[in-house]
Structure 1
Amino acid sequence: MSELMKYAESADLYSKISNLITAKKYTVSRAVNSAIVFLYWEIGETICKDILQNHKAEYGKNIINEVAKQLSQNYGKGFDRTAIFRMVQFYQEFPDKEKVATLSQQLTWSHFVVLLPIEDELKRDFYAAMCKSENWSVRVLRERKNSMLYERTAISKKPDETIKNDIALLMEKDKMSLDLFYRDPYVLDFLGLKDTYSEKDLENAILSELERFILEMGSDFAFMARQKHFVLDGKDYYMDLLFYHRSLRRLVLIELKLGAFEPEHKGQVELYLRWLKKNEMCEGEDDPIALILCAEKSQETVELVELDKGSIHVAQYLTKMPPKKLLEEKLAIAIENAKEQLEQR
């Protein structure tokens, strides 16, 4: 056998074994993570059922304090008083064992630690489902939570039953609804734009920071084209940004508008969507959708031209993150207005 053949066979064998090792490491890592998460959940369950439900609150706390002291001495700081009470909270906030089993395949204990302080169950389930679907790291989860992603997502303005159904669909079948996808406002403070800039500046800044922009949009995005060109009746047209979203199985058109939303933007984008459907849509995909990102929008105008009901959505972008209190107030008003409109239908 020639040295060349020996080298080729050796390289092939090494590649196969290396792939086996990598795959097994990943499998073992997931199994270990799942086992740890389940251990903490079972500790919380045991304490809740054996101690907290059968004793007065103060007496139960004293017992937990004593047990935590012994556990931390034997098993380390990971079982001190704070950690044990967090496990109790984990069981109380996630009592469904099957849900924990599903989430623990991708979420680490550190993910759950970030999720536990969220008091609203629907909001907590939203972040958990998004973590699972988009494979967020703990850092990304914190960033999304701090930027109030849930409140900015269209689903937060829907009735509770709709929110539950859409989250369950994402959690169980990894199928994302449009209400989970759309958000308003989009926070683009990472672009570093000056006070005076053009739509081209905005587009260039987004493309130069494409990875962070896509994270704000959602990690299932794939970039396809910039200034997508087509000719209709001898006239040139250019679409700003074109993406593909894997979970939605749709082309996503993004149009950037420097000023306020104007009604004529709807007609322009409708033309683009019809062209995409006729010329770019592949078999098995759903119809293309569009997002118009503008500096300002009048909700009255958006409602009058009947957007946000179909395939076109309008959202503001913020090139600087506003104070959290101001953002909370703005979003609270938007949510209340949306719920009032739903109740009047």
Structure 2
Amino acid sequence: MVAFYKIKIVATLSQLLSWSHFIELANVKDNLTSTYYTELCKIEHWTVRELRDRINSMLYERTALSKSPEKLIKQELKQLQTQKVFTENIVFRDNYLLDFLDLKDVYREKDLETAIIVELQKFIIEIGTDFAFLSRQKRMIIDGEDYTLDLLFYHRGLNRLVAIELKLGKFKQSYKSQMELYLSWLEKYEMR
């Protein structure tokens, strides 16, 4: 009778990342930050150039995870390593670098939306590869009135819809109310 391993046999990290990846990762001094980049590099199959760009743009520092207590960071990174489970803290960022849209100093929301659609591939790479684009100007009829959500995505790892309403200028309380209205409609009519 043949005995089989009871635990999963996995490839070593050296089989998943190239020597050039290791050179880039060696420049990251903090262990938690390095672990974050290593895990995402493995899971999302980043090229060396993508890894370098993400390190240079301080991707980790822009995530909600980096602002969490060290114990929580370690717990979420361990979950990512062992189960490949993405949490909101890993996926979402405090701000996004949209320099690649090449917008002038003054622009309208419509210009921002059009530039995002034109550069959708780059935009999805910036927000994370598990995002899938669903809709632009998603039409919703609420109490007989037409509303449109600027962009609608689906995140495969979180198994959730992600609604993006683009606004210029300072935050207003009405933006929050508007988004809550949209989210209620999406939960009622789009969630499966």
TM-score by length of 2: 0.91
**Corresponding residue number in structure 2 for 1:222:** 132
Pick one of 24, 33, 44 that aligns with 1:123. 33
The alpha carbon displacement at 1:106 in A equals 2.8
Following the alignment from structure 1 to structure 2, what is the Cα–Cα distance between the partners of residues 239 and 102?
A: 44
**How far apart are 1:136 and its partner, in Å?**
1.0
Alignment partner, residue 275 of structure 1: 185
Partner of 1:44: none
The 1:279/1:103 distance shift into structure 2, 3 A limit, reads: farther
- Tell whether 2:94 aligns with 1:184: yes
Counterpart of 1:225, as a letter, is S
Aligned match for 1:160, one of 45, 70, 79: 70
- Amino acid of the structure 2 residue aligned with 1:117: N
- What does the per-residue CA deviation read over 1:49-72, in whole Å, with 9 as the maximum and x for residues that have no partner? xxxxxxxxxxxxxxxxxxxxxxxx
Specify the alignment match of 1:97 in structure 2. none
Task: Quote the residue 1:249 is aligned against.
Answer: 159
Runs of 5+ unmatched residues, structure 1: 1-99, 283-345
Residue 123 of structure 2 corresponds to 213
Fraction of identical pairs, as percent: 56
In the alignment, the residues of structure 2 paired with residue 277 and residue 155 of structure 1 have an alpha-carbon distance, to the nearest angstrom, of 26
> 1:174 Cα deviation (Å)?
1.2
Counterpart code for 1:244: Y
User: What is aligned with 1:265?
Assistant: 175
Please name the residue that 1:134 is paired with: 44
The yes-or-no answer on 1:199 pairing with 2:109 is yes
Question: How much has 1:218 moved relative to structure 2?
Answer: 0.5
The whole-number CA distance in structure 2 between the counterparts of 1:105 and 1:266 is 46
Separation of aligned partners in 2, 1:125 and 1:104: 14
Which segment is superposed worse, 105-114 or 131-140?
105-114
Query: How far apart are the structure 2 equivalents of 1:144 and 1:152?
Result: 10
Contact conserved, 1:223 with 1:244, CA < 8 A, in 2? yes
Q: Any stretches of 5+ residues in structure 2 without a counterpart?
A: 1-9
**Structure 1 residue 105, shift from structure 2 partner:** 4.6
The count of aligned residue pairs is 183
CA distance in 1, matches of 2:110, 2:87: 31
Following superposition of structure 1 onto structure 2, how do residues 78-157 of structure 1 map, counting pairs within 5 Å? 101-157=11-67
Larger radius of gyration, structure 1 or 2? 1
AA at the equivalent of 1:239: L
* Normalised TM-score (structure 1): 0.52
Aligned residue type for 2:189: N
- Does the residue aligned with 2:151 lie in a helix, a strand or coil? strand
**Residue type of the partner of 2:153?**
F
RMSD: 1.3
CA separation of 1:102 and 1:223: change in aligned 2, threshold 3 A? farther
State the AA in 2 paired with 1:207. I
The question of whether the paired residues in 2 share the 8 Å contact of 1:177 and 1:248 is answered with yes
1:117 deviates by 1.6
Q: Is contact 1:150-1:156 (8 Å) kept?
A: yes
For 1:241 and 1:204, how far apart are their aligned partners in 2?
11
130-139 or 221-230: which moved more? 130-139
Cα displacement string for residues 204-247 of structure 1 (whole angstroms, at most 9, x for unaligned residues): 00110001111110011110000000111110010010011111
